[in-house]
Structure 1
């Protein structure tokens, strides 16, 4: 199972993420039957983005806060070694 999540992130002057918001959930693109399973992918994406480090933006040579949107592709395997779900 896989899905693409889109997040909005406020990046501070050191390149650290803050105020990470889910803009588009992977669960939006699947059937209602699969939605609960895919929602866990959205959570994994959120956890990953909170660990990102960004290149700080600069204005007139000084680092500044900025907001960026980023897409995250999350892929999940079945975990049974069979390759199912890949």
Structure 2
């Protein structure tokens, strides 16, 4: 797999365009987005992973930064 293909494969947000029939009376939906969790790409949890401080881990919902996955709304106007 080429580097740019591998990089696209390991992104957290993926996109696809739903099929639209030529006879469909509805307007096309366009691009749809979905998010993949970080644990999909990690496999087994390696020992001695970096950890958040306890107060930050409670806010983020996980003790390990590698498993932290914030939600970034792709449909939000203006974006980041």
User: Shared fold by TM > 0.5?
Assistant: no
Between structure 1 and structure 2, the one with the greater Rg is 2
